[in-house]
Structure 1
Amino acid sequence: MQPSVNSREKTIAIIGNPNVGKSSIFNQLTGLNQKIGNYPGVTVDKTLGFLNISGKQYQLIDLPGTYSIFPKSEDELIAMRVLTGMEEEKPDAVIVILDASNLERSLLLGTQVIDLGLPVAFVVNMKDVAEINGIKIKTHSLYEAFGIPLVMTDARKVVGMDAIRSLIVEEKFRKHGQFLEITEIADQKLLEKVKTKFELQNLYQAFQYLIFGESNKLISSEKKEWLQEACKEYDFDIHNAQIEESKRRNSKIRNLLKGATTSSNLRSTQFSKKLDGLLLHPILGYVVFIGIMLLIFQAIFAWAEVPMDWIDMGFAEISAWISTKLPQGVFTDFLAEGLIPGIGGIVIFIPQIALLFGFLAFLEDTGYLSRVVFLMDRIMKPFGLHGKSVVPLISGLACAIPAVMATRTITNTKEKLITILVTPWMSCSARLPIYIIIIGLVIPSETILGFNMQALALLGMYLLGTVATLSGALLLNLVFQQKERSYLLTELPIYRFPRWKAVLLTMYSKSKVFVLEAGKVILSISIILWVLASYGPPATMNSLNEEEATLIELANSEEDAAEIEELYSSKKLEASFMGIMGKAIEPIIKPLGYDWKIGIALITSFAAREVFVATIATIYSIGGDVDNELTIREKLSQETRPDTGKKVFNLATGISLMVFYAFAMQCMSTLAVVKRETKTWKWPIFQMIVMTAVAYITALITYQTLL
């Protein structure tokens, strides 16, 4: 037993291979008592949980899943960084989750943790899978073989959780001597030299520094050069040393397991093999995958529509209630037109985010998602993407916000970043109202070879987004140079029924992260946009208010007064700071076929693309229900240019506008999420500049070609 040194909160790290049930155990122990942070300098999230038991509080750290502590990815670097205390406070103890059905693979990581010199306990999980595969584990023999306390669990059935709690509160963690004598692989003098230089605790830590020092972002270039010189001096081959360490470690593990486990194939795995034959088939596998994703996509649209409408109407009613119940004035306008809609603009995305991550958690829990990654990796690789990129890209057809958040499963930094940067080019649902209105304006409702031209135009816009996404990924892959090697190492877990509690917890935690993190930025920008659209030069705005008041007094009816209010609402918008900005950019956007009114819509729709519809409704004094597409189309079709008398929304302008929205980053919510996922404003700014430039150039070419 490890005695308690002081009364401070103990920190316990939980580590294990992917798909071993590590996060399930973490969730069972902590429940909703979790918080999400981030490790300084990297893009990987830090998930912390708190366990209160017997009057004590323990902080649990859910480390990213990894097969070893040789850092080939950012996730593995985090594991090494935490366990060695490198720029992180070292945990007091470590729980290593082992896969009961594959102890040999799990113990490679487990024995490496032992050799780092930390107090360790083993949790042998997934014993139900071991039983299915005919594997029996002699727990006492396993304990004697490795000298580490252990408990058997089945996290899915909540079996063994009390044993883990007892292990923690009684602090049954144990330090063990070196499992593998590392001086048999590396010169002891070299190891001692590295240990002294970096002030390490043992020789195995020194060995780790030699292995991954060159790729470690936390080590200065001077120290990396020092490590390189030390390797040359002692003729130390990093690659061969790593292979040799793994070979010797696995050999010793196999020998020790001979007396601790028995195997007899009691149950057949024919069902899994037959199902894999279909789901991983080189042709049928893609058909099944597309079918499943279409169902999910349709469900997200259908199921999210009702709660999103409720949220939209609810916040509209709150705004209306504030407008009527509170005294008229700036503060009331701010609440009703700025703050409340801003909060609504955050909350309205929650149904889509929760549903998308719920479906992904469902697929992951059944074992299918790992197979999707394996299936798609070959297709994605030439474009600089990862097999895991397919889920965010398809999710982007619904909404780029949860799609960007879904890139967390991609371990390769370069491929994750490329996926984040190109995902907004997938035609999300926010573009749909714009496409429908403009197509109805400029594309005739005729048929070609039996196909409706308007339907073909809509399909073309979605195909354009897909082509742009893959082309952008291909270019970024050529531009971004990175030494980090891309590889796909994924396990195909057995098929299981999903755990609804885990699915619901995922939906809750992802929604919470979005509201608390991205919501701050969204709300701030919404308020700024309201201020710009509500205020203008005082003299001009006062004059308009006086004119409006005079005309309303002279109005013959309430209908006339309402028309006057709509007219002056448009005039005030034109005179506002936002209107001034629209006038200012008119010379820039005129070559695209746009006037200053469309320019205002471009600016305001930065908050969200769908704002375009409401903005042009206000600017052109449409009145009535802005959701009535026919009313909007009829009014817009009559709009003419004052200088030429020609229609504003002709074929060239309409197609140009759709192309602009297909490519432009007109969504501050997405930018906020990109900032959160990359931990820097550099990439959202880069994304904004590049996507806007591409949108401008393609829209310019489109307009000038069709003019």
Structure 2
Amino acid sequence: MKKSPKIALIGNPNAGKSSLFNSLTGLRQKTGNFPGVTMDKLIGKWNLETGTEAEILDLPGIYSIYPKSVDEQVVINILANPQHPDYPDMAIVVADASNLKRNLLLFSQVRDLGIPTVLALNMIDVAENSGIVINSFKLAKELNVEVAEVNAKKGIGLNGLRLAVNKTLEQRFNSNDSLPVEYSPELIDEIKEKYGDTDDYHALLWLSEHDNLKQFNTEQRVGFDKLQEKYGWNSKKFQAQETVSRYAVLNEIVDGCLHQIPVEDEPVKTWTDRLDKVFLHQFWGYFVFLGILFVMFQAVFTWAAYPQDLIDNGVAWLNQYLKDTLPESQLVNLLTDGLIAGIGGVVVFVPQIVFLFLFISLLEETGYMSRVMFIMDKLMRRFGLNGKSVVPLISGVACAVPAIMSTRSIGSWKDRLITIMVTPLMSCSARLPIYTVLIALVVPEKSTLFGIFSLQGVALFGLYLLGFGMAILSAWILKVVLKAKERSYFIMELPSYKGPRFKHIMISLLNSTKAFVFEAGKIIVAISIVLWVMASYGPGNAMQEAEQKVKTENPTLTGADLENKIAAQKLESSYAGHFGKVLEPAIKPLGYDWKIGIALLTSFAAREVFVGTMSTIYSLGGEVDDENTTVMNRMRAEVNPETGKPMYDAALGFSLMIFYAFAMQCMSTLATTYRETKSWRYPAIQLVYMTTLAYLSAFIVYQLLK
């Protein structure tokens, strides 16, 4: 046995594969990309026995080895190529025990590829509740593989699975001697002669799917086409015959190993049936979904307020403590006003990110998210979106990058393109820090709706609804422009409702929070430091002249008032101030000044950088008496020099919120759009139309409210 065997988890969607991955690996996971593919893969470690640690690879869910979507092609490119860096030493095929016949089709195909395979029967409890009893020992004998019964969500049966895996790695159980389909030996021999020695089923897979397999070049694919023509080979006909033949064999096996306990003539209503009468109702289904979203955003805003205040005040205290303790120098200023202010702009929003992903994980774990996709399908079609577009749009609430990559499951190119183009309009978690700051500035904290709901939470909910509304409206416009008339279909299996396993939720929360802190955080901190340098230095003697100017114009000012005036003037005279002044005429109609202009420029790297930028700017140039104060208070104390009133009033606050709700200010999203469309044309269109929409919308809001 290898010291570190590579084991692939393979299974149908909703078979519990990801739950099993979490149970096996716990927190020992990392995320990467499949070689040459911009699609996330999860890798984890699992202790098989003393001194042996397996590498577990969680592959995307598939129904068979003949792919119908891009993510399924990723799996087949691995399984069809023994030279692929992710080709497994063995596979664990996760099957839904309550729907065994359908799940065994994929299992039999993987086994016949010659990959040593263990069958993990998941959801045994669901099968038993449906009156299904499976004789696992007889099934293992019939299939000639090790079979383990598991409950992935509760972590039951993992020791039995470990024994089955160890035994399979030692004895190398693999395919049957004969395939359940007729084929020409001469054709197989010619494939092996031209493309390398392999087993018969791999040869047939290569012949059928050569256009989807990256291991073959153009010349080799032409060679396969000639072989198909020579032998009169029809791939679709072969795949259909193979599927029918496999089911004939599998039905006989399952019928001999599965016992269905008779039920009464009147079927027993399960909790899934009862809940679906409400959640899938043509009216109440939408009402419940909106209610859940409303509660979610209320909780995100109100529950997170307490830890946020602690973090915000803690960062302000630490900053002031270091300034009071350490000797005054530019290095200390860089540490406090640059690095710590930037870090504070990241960690202060961790509580809200945690609550947002907590709710999303709960919806996914319980099986409700699938119902959302189902009920939204009919609505999506009216606006030119495929039913599968619901998945990226909902995922876009977390992050647009993986959401755009998930469009690969959409078969129609036009539907997929429209979905890619509108998904960034969904308010992602990167916008949450901006919304939080601005809502807190312009919406009174203690104001309520009907005396129950926080108006701040209502405002946040409204912004997310606005993003969704604009996304489907833009999709309808793109449908008209692209003249998309192709009919599309949305087929999915609704899993039964399940109680969430909080260990899995905690793993998901930890991974999501780490991604925000370390991925977005690196950008925010780096830009904060660069911005500190730009805001602390100016061309020539500009900074000295700024200080002298303030002292000359305000001869009676002393102490903190004088220092604040000097800091503000120095900021305006710095390199950052010059950049902001250049941009100011263009954004003046929106009510923005040069300081906000700096934040708009820096946040093109990532939207959430806006908050880190404002933290740095107001740490350097804020005019407040108390230095030991939060950035929120500094922004609240900012005065509009033209009116003498607070800078961040309702007009400016809502204008900024609308701008960030629609603006394409995320380099990663643009890069992902390019990778998925293979053209700079589409990210350029995305940037132009979203920026134009953001500017015009913000202009209208400001002019109406001012």
TM over 0.5: yes
Q: Which residue of 2 aligns with 1:55?
A: 51
2:254 is the alignment partner of 1:257: yes
Distance, in Å, in 1 between the alignment partners of 2:36 and 2:484 is 17
Using the TM superposition, give the Cα deviation of residue 472 of structure 1 relative to its aligned residue in structure 2, in angstroms.
3.2
Using the TM superposition, give the Cα deviation of residue 112 of structure 1 relative to its aligned residue in structure 2, in angstroms.
0.4
* Selected match of 1:32 from 27, 30, 35: 27
Say if 1:388 and 1:409, in contact at 8 Å, map to a contact too.
Answer: no
SS at match of 1:154: coil
Q: How does 1:168-567 map to 2 (within 5 A)?
A: 168-170=165-167, 171=169, 173-178=172-177, 180-182=179-181, 184=182, 186-199=183-196, 201-216=198-213, 219-266=216-263, 269-271=268-270, 272-383=272-383, 385=385, 387=387, 390=390, 393=393, 401-402=398-399, 412=409, 414=416, 417-418=420-421, 420-424=423-427, 428=432, 430-431=434-435, 433-434=437-438, 465-474=467-476, 487-545=489-547, 560-567=558-565
Q: Indicate the larger mover: 118-127 or 350-359.
A: 350-359
SS at match of 1:274: helix
2:598 is the alignment partner of 1:603: no
Q: Which residue of 1 aligns with 2:453?
A: none
Distance, in Å, in 2 between the alignment partners of 1:534 and 1:30 is 47
Say if 2:121 and 2:149, in contact at 8 Å, map to a contact too.
Answer: yes
Q: Aligned pair in 2 of structure 1 residues 513, 58: CA closer, same or farther (>3 Å)? A: same
* Selected match of 1:90 from 87, 93, 98: 87
Q: Indicate the larger mover: 35-44 or 206-215.
A: 206-215
Q: Indicate the larger mover: 494-503 or 574-583.
A: 494-503
Q: Which residue of 2 aligns with 1:643?
A: none
Distance, in Å, in 1 between the alignment partners of 2:234 and 2:368 is 40
SS at match of 1:494: coil
Distance, in Å, in 1 between the alignment partners of 2:507 and 2:458 is 41
2:141 is the alignment partner of 1:144: yes
Using the TM superposition, give the Cα deviation of residue 250 of structure 1 relative to its aligned residue in structure 2, in angstroms.
1.3
Say if 2:659 and 2:698, in contact at 8 Å, map to a contact too.
Answer: yes
Say if 1:54 and 1:169, in contact at 8 Å, map to a contact too.
Answer: no
Q: Aligned pair in 2 of structure 1 residues 484, 14: CA closer, same or farther (>3 Å)? A: farther
Using the TM superposition, give the Cα deviation of residue 87 of structure 1 relative to its aligned residue in structure 2, in angstroms.
3.4
Using the TM superposition, give the Cα deviation of residue 16 of structure 1 relative to its aligned residue in structure 2, in angstroms.
1.4
Q: Indicate the larger mover: 212-221 or 329-338.
A: 212-221
Q: Which residue of 2 aligns with 1:66?
A: 62
Structure 1 residue identity aligned to 2:310: W
Say if 1:195 and 1:206, in contact at 8 Å, map to a contact too.
Answer: yes
Distance, in Å, in 1 between the alignment partners of 2:476 and 2:407 is 17
Q: Aligned pair in 2 of structure 1 residues 162, 328: CA closer, same or farther (>3 Å)? A: same
Question: Could you tell me the percent identity over the aligned residues?
Answer: 39
Distance, in Å, in 1 between the alignment partners of 2:593 and 2:177 is 74
Say if 2:112 and 2:174, in contact at 8 Å, map to a contact too.
Answer: no
- 1:232-280: CA deviation from partner (whole Å, max 9, x where unpaired): 3433333332222212211211122221111124585413323222211
Q: How does 1:563-642 map to 2 (within 5 A)?
A: 563-589=561-587, 596=594, 599-603=597-601, 608-610=609-611, 623=624, 627=632, 632=637, 635=640, 638-639=643-644
Q: Which residue of 1 aligns with 2:413?
A: none
Q: Indicate the larger mover: 540-549 or 134-143.
A: 540-549
TM-score normalised by length of structure 1: 0.82
Structure 1 residue identity aligned to 2:517: V
SS at match of 1:259: helix
SS at match of 1:530: helix
Structure 2 residue identity aligned to 1:248: S
- 1:486-520: CA deviation from partner (whole Å, max 9, x where unpaired): 65342222222221222212212222233333333
Distance, in Å, in 2 between the alignment partners of 1:236 and 1:526 is 62
Distance, in Å, in 2 between the alignment partners of 1:485 and 1:520 is 44
- 1:449-475: CA deviation from partner (whole Å, max 9, x where unpaired): xxxxx9999998776544432233445
Q: Aligned pair in 2 of structure 1 residues 191, 254: CA closer, same or farther (>3 Å)? A: same
Say if 1:602 and 1:612, in contact at 8 Å, map to a contact too.
Answer: no
Q: Indicate the larger mover: 511-520 or 67-76.
A: 511-520
Q: Aligned pair in 2 of structure 1 residues 265, 623: CA closer, same or farther (>3 Å)? A: farther
Q: Aligned pair in 2 of structure 1 residues 123, 459: CA closer, same or farther (>3 Å)? A: closer
Using the TM superposition, give the Cα deviation of residue 173 of structure 1 relative to its aligned residue in structure 2, in angstroms.
4.2
TM-score normalised by length of structure 2: 0.82
Say if 1:434 and 1:612, in contact at 8 Å, map to a contact too.
Answer: no
Q: Indicate the larger mover: 161-170 or 678-687.
A: 678-687
Say if 2:655 and 2:702, in contact at 8 Å, map to a contact too.
Answer: yes
Using the TM superposition, give the Cα deviation of residue 350 of structure 1 relative to its aligned residue in structure 2, in angstroms.
2.8
Distance, in Å, in 1 between the alignment partners of 2:37 and 2:121 is 31
Using the TM superposition, give the Cα deviation of residue 691 of structure 1 relative to its aligned residue in structure 2, in angstroms.
2.8
Q: Aligned pair in 2 of structure 1 residues 56, 258: CA closer, same or farther (>3 Å)? A: same
Using the TM superposition, give the Cα deviation of residue 342 of structure 1 relative to its aligned residue in structure 2, in angstroms.
2.3
- 1:71-105: CA deviation from partner (whole Å, max 9, x where unpaired): 22233222222223363342111111222111111
Q: Aligned pair in 2 of structure 1 residues 100, 595: CA closer, same or farther (>3 Å)? A: closer
2:112 is the alignment partner of 1:115: yes
Structure 1 residue identity aligned to 2:17: K
Structure 2 residue identity aligned to 1:343: I
SS at match of 1:177: coil
* Selected match of 1:161 from 152, 155, 158: 158
* Unaligned stretches of 5+ residues in structure 1: 446-453, 641-646
Q: Which residue of 2 aligns with 1:451?
A: none
Q: Aligned pair in 2 of structure 1 residues 313, 424: CA closer, same or farther (>3 Å)? A: same
* Unaligned stretches of 5+ residues in structure 2: 411-415, 448-455
Distance, in Å, in 2 between the alignment partners of 1:250 and 1:242 is 12
Structure 2 residue identity aligned to 1:270: K
Distance, in Å, in 1 between the alignment partners of 2:644 and 2:602 is 20
Using the TM superposition, give the Cα deviation of residue 332 of structure 1 relative to its aligned residue in structure 2, in angstroms.
1.2
Q: CA RMSD in A?
A: 4.3
- 1:356-404: CA deviation from partner (whole Å, max 9, x where unpaired): 23222222222222222221122224545555655765686xxx55565
